[in-house]
Structures are given as C-alpha cells and as structure tokens.
Copies of this chain bind each other. A is one copy, B any other.
C-alpha cells in the first residue's frame, strides 16, 4: 500500500490539508474548520482529520489511506508546549510532526533556501532559517507585542481618534472618519475598544494604509511608526544572516512600499503557500523522493 504524505495548515479560522505521493507531488486538497490546538484540541483533531479526508477524496483516494500516511501539521504559534504531545498522540496518521505555522510558511515561501519570512497580518512574527537553525523574532501577541501588526495599527488609529477629540493631537480625515463611525461620542469608541479582539482592531488597519496613501497626516504618522517597528525587526533578521526576506500575511503588499530602502533589495516573492511548505517538509522528513535522501 502506498504511504502517502500529508501537509496540514491549521489556523484559527480554517484548516487546510493536502495529500501527496511519496515524492511530494500534491494529489488533492481539502479544507475544514478551525484548528486551534491550544484552545480547543478536540475540535482541532476533528478538523485536521476532516481536512485530510477531504484531500483524499479530492484526489479520488480511499481515505483509509490516512492511517498509513505521514504528516507535517503546521499550527499557530511557536510555543505550543504540552498541547503538542496531546494532539500528536491522537492524530489519525501513521506518523506526524507538529511544526509552527511560521515554519511551514517559510518552507513554502523559500523552499530549501536560507532566508526569512516576515508575517504581517493581524499579528506579526519573523522567522529566520540558516541551514538547520530556525529562529523566531517577535510574535508575542497583541497584549504585549505584535508591533506593526494590523491589530496594533487599528488600535493606534482608535487611540488617535480620542487624542484628536481631546485636541491633544491633530484631527484629520482618518480620525474624523472613526469618530463619525462612533456617533462622534468618545465613550462609544471606549466601549468598543474595551471588548475588541485583535482581529476587530485589525479591521481598521487597511483604512490607515488607504488614508496614508492619500496623504492624510495622521495616517501617515501612524504608518511610519508601524513601519519603523517592522524595519527594526527586519534589522535583527538581517543581523542573523538572512539576505532573502519574503513578506507574507494580509498586510504584506500594503506594507512593502513603506519599509526602509535598505530592506527593499532583500524582498522576494513567495514560491508557494504554507500548505505546500507543509507537504515539502513531510516529503523531506518522511518521503521516499529525492528530498528524503538529504
């Protein structure tokens, strides 16, 4: 019986899976619901199995083949601790390793090259790889980190709208737009902010990019401050030896023109997505194709 390879990209909103032959060639893909192995491991296990089954069906393969398959499961966060062991023992595959979503994204983006990825979305994290050494920079979450993230940019915009209301900072079209959305009542902004999750703050980030692009002075100031936090993290990535950097995440295309000149020559486009990266790691670690020989 053929021993298939499986790549899983598990995230907070959905879980994607790909099944590949022993050489790493992808045969089918599937998708299911959220896979948060930290906050809800049982649901994550169910959705990982469902996504894998859908991938087998997409490839017109018997899902019973899952039981003899070998998998790389990419999950959110780079500090997954005990939950890894719990989930790893219960996965419906013959063998599996759990890796961070950042590492599979890096593998997808850069293939086997050395370099780094900067994931610029609702959160921010930087992952650099030199040979076998992988290092993580940032990514500590909204409460105390994730500088330059969509959540932080949106939070900064709401904050500026209150500073503009109090005439402590200048008002501008972007702060006016926020206040007007909240009925020109700062208490409504406060009520929203007290309960807002990072993703809810993050929904204001594109508005900052949009207004900054049209010369709004407040949006420009907020965005320059955010871009400076990304640039200083990229300086660390470069100081650790990376000469190739791929910007990933929903804000990546918006951010690129705002980042420092010194980093522009280092930026490359992603070769492939994180799911492809997970399959490639599975092929290298478990496969019988040429990569497995390495």
Chain B residue numbers with a CB within 8 Å of A272 are none
Partner of A145, one of B140, B143, B162: B162
Where chain A touches its partner, the secondary structure class is helix
Contact of A143 among B137, B163, B194, B236 (CB under 8 A): B194
| Minimal beta-carbon separation of A82 from chain B (angstroms) | 12
Cβ proximity bits A183-227 to B, threshold 8 Å, 1 near / 0 not: 000110110011000000000000000000000000000000000
A141→B194 contact, CB < 8 A? yes
In whole angstroms, what is the CA distance A25 to B194 when docked? 42
Residues of B within 8 A of A168 (CB): 137-138, 232-233, 235-236
Asked whether B236 lies within 8 Å of A190 as measured between CB atoms, the reply is: no
Residue A71 is within 8 A (CB to CB) of chain B in the complex: no
B236-A167 in contact (CB<8A): yes
A144: CB under 8 A from chain B? Answer: yes
| Closest chain B CB from A86 CB (angstroms) | 18
Sorting the interface of chain A by its residue count into under 10, 10 to 19, 20 to 34 or 35 or more gives 20 to 34
Given A140-B162, A143-B193, 12 more pairs with CB closer than 8 A: A79-B187, A137-B167, A140-B189, A144-B158, A144-B159, A144-B162, A144-B190, A145-B159, A167-B236, A167-B239, A168-B233, A168-B236
Answer whether residue A155 sits at the interface, using C-beta atoms and an 8 A cutoff: yes
Task: Tell yes or no: A166 within 8 A of B by CB.
Answer: yes
Residues from chain B with Cβ under 8 Å of A186 in the complex: 140
Q: Which of A143, A144, A158, A159 has the most CB of B within 10 A?
A: A144
How many Å lie between the Cα of A187 and that of B140 in the bound state?
8
8 tightest A-B CB contacts, nearest first? A144-B193, A143-B193, A143-B194, A137-B166, A140-B190, A140-B162, A144-B159, A79-B187
Docked CA distance A206–B141 (Å): 25
Chain B positions within 8 Å of A167 at CB level:
137, 236, 239
